[in-house]
């Protein structure tokens, strides 16, 4: 949606299991697009993101009228941890490790359906031919840092891992405390 580096302090602090979408709020502008020619003219309306509004949150603020749940909510069930051959699918974070970061790179896209798109439009605008991209993208504009913290059970180790993939190119990266033998 936007190809520009930004750094925003979200203030999001979580302990324990945490799997949430992070929402960046944008101001959208409704355009009338006219492709005007001498013999024929094509006009249509289109919503476009205009500018970032400075807020990132881990709750979906778009709860449409008459509904209880935010549109576009996607549940995520964390797969079972597997360190892979010789630990190839994990990065271990020791007490003396420096923070490990993963950012930008290629994209992970999720089809979330037309309901997601329509529900993301500003209040009062719905249906018809208006739609945004019905894909969500993450990874391309995010940067996440994992820093060692105490709190794992004695004998456990902190790992950052991908599902059947190396964390440097896994589409999703997760973190866990796992028994030392599995780390």
> In the complex with other proteins, which residue's Cβ is closer, 16 or 41?
41
Q: Which of 58, 100, 132, 134 binds other proteins (CB under 8 A)?
A: 100
Minimum separation from the CB atom of position 175 to other proteins (A): 13
Minimum separation from the CB atom of position 87 to other proteins (A): 3
Four-residue CA torsion sign, 102, 103, 106, 111: positive
Helices H, strands E: what count in the chain? 1, 9
What tokens were used for 110? 């999720």
Nearest 10 degrees: CA dihedral of 44, 115, 13, 108?
-70
Q: Which of 17, 41, 96, 129 binds other proteins (CB under 8 A)?
A: 96
> In the complex with other proteins, which residue's Cβ is closer, 39 or 65?
39
Counting contacts by CB under 8 A, is residue 34 touching other proteins?
Answer: yes
Taking a C-beta distance cutoff of 8 angstroms, is the pair 21, 10 a contact?
no
Query: Which helix (H) or strand (E) covers residue 147, if one does?
Result: none
The C-alpha angle with vertex 100 and arms to 140 and 75, in degrees rounded to 5, equals 55
Strand partners, 29: 48
> In the complex with other proteins, which residue's Cβ is closer, 12 or 168?
168
Taking a C-beta distance cutoff of 8 angstroms, is the pair 71, 125 a contact?
no
Counting contacts by CB under 8 A, is residue 183 touching other proteins?
Answer: yes
What tokens were used for 57? 């949150």
Binding segment (CB under 8 A) for other proteins, from list 53-61, 78-86, 115-123, 124-132: 78-86
Counting contacts by CB under 8 A, is residue 10 touching other proteins?
Answer: no
Counting contacts by CB under 8 A, is residue 8 touching other proteins?
Answer: no
Q: Which of 37, 54, 99, 127 binds other proteins (CB under 8 A)?
A: 99
Binding site for other proteins (CB under 8 A): 29, 31-35, 46, 48, 83, 85-88, 90-106, 139, 143, 157, 159, 166-169, 180-181, 183
């Amino acid at each position: 949606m936007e190809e520009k580096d930004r750094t925003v302090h979200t203030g999001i602090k979580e302990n324990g299991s945490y799997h949430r979408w992070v929402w960046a709020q944008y101001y959208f502008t409704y355009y009338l697009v006219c492709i005007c020619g001498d013999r024929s003219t094509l006009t249509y309306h289109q919503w476009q993101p205009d500018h970032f509004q400075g807020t990132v949150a881990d709750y979906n603020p778009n709860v449409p009228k008459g509904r209880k749940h935010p549109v576009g909510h996607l549940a995520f069930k964390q797969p079972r941890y597997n360190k892979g051959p010789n630990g190839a699918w994990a990065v271990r974070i020791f007490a003396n490790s420096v923070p490990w970061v993963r950012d930008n790179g290629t994209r992970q896209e999720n089809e979330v359906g037309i309901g997601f798109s329509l529900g993301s439009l500003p209040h009062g605008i719905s249906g018809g031919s208006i739609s945004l991209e019905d894909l969500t993208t993450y990874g391309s504009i995010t940067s996440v840092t994992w820093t060692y913290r105490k709190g794992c059970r004695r004998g456990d180790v902190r790992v950052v891992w991908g599902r059947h993939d190396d964390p440097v190119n896994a589409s999703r990266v997760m973190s866990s405390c796992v028994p030392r033998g599995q780390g």
